[in-house]
Amino acid sequence: MGDPAGISPELTAKVITLTEVRAAADLIVIGDARVLAAGARVAGIEPDIEMRQGVQHCRVDARPVFIDLGNLDPARVELSMATRTGGEFALANFRAALQLAASHGVDAVCFTPFNKAAMRSADPGYDDEIGYATEVLGTTGTATEFNIPEGF
């Protein structure tokens, strides 16, 4: 889950319910279950997910897994505001996902929208997702990203 003050919570809830996404991948979502529930209420849906605590439990059986880090009380979210709290939340979720990938617990990492101003507020050294990923993973050399436009 990305920034909790924007569209990330409801977008995350919606993605979890998409049949075509569930058919294409075994989903593991990382964040706070309370933030996801708030997003699901905004989206008017009830995602069918399996709740788990801790990133060490990552095997997906029949339905998407939500790893609840319990890292943000939704009452602390200032909607439509870039805050340090929102940046800390997004960075913690991203870090957990990257570490799960590094341990071969997942094949890929993606994220719902981040707010770079919030992330820089939480981590003044934060430049972008690529730099943060290389830092967390301890990699050196060239790093890049690729985006897949609709229809490709």
Beta bridge partners of 91: none
Q: Does residue 112 belong to any structural domain of this protein?
A: yes
On whether residue 95 sits in a domain, the answer given is yes
Q: What is the CATH number of the domain that holds 117?
A: 3.40.718.10
Would you say 31 and 12 are in contact if contact means Cβ atoms under 8 Å apart? yes
The model's confidence at residue 61, banded by pLDDT at 50, 70 and 90, is confident
Q: Residue 150 falls within a domain, yes or no?
A: no
Computed over every residue of the chain, the mean pLDDT equals 92
State the average pLDDT over residues 21-35. Answer: 94
Nearest to 51 by CA among 31, 77, 71: 31
**What confidence score (pLDDT) does residue 55 get?**
73
pLDDT at 56: 65
* Greatest pairwise CA separation for the chain in angstroms: 44
Q: What is residue 65's three-state secondary structure?
A: strand
Asked if pLDDT for residue 151 goes beyond 90, the answer is no
Q: Is residue 17 part of a domain?
A: yes
User: What is the tally of structural domains in the chain?
Assistant: 1
Judged against a pLDDT cut of 90, whether residue 57 lies above it is answered with no
Tell me whether residue 81 is in a domain: yes
**Are 30 and 110 within 8 A, CB to CB?**
no
The pLDDT score that the predictor gives to residue 86 is 97
Q: Indicate whether 151 belongs to any domain.
A: no
- The rounded distance, in Å, linking the Cα atoms of 30 and 106 is 12
Residue 132 lies inside a defined structural domain of this protein:
yes
- Return the residue matching tokens 């990305």: 2
Give pLDDT tens digits for 79-136.
Answer: 999 999 999 999 999 999 999 999 988 889 999 999 999 999 999 999 999 999 999 9
Residue 89 within any structural domain of the chain: yes
Residue-number span of the structural domain to which 71 is assigned? 8-137
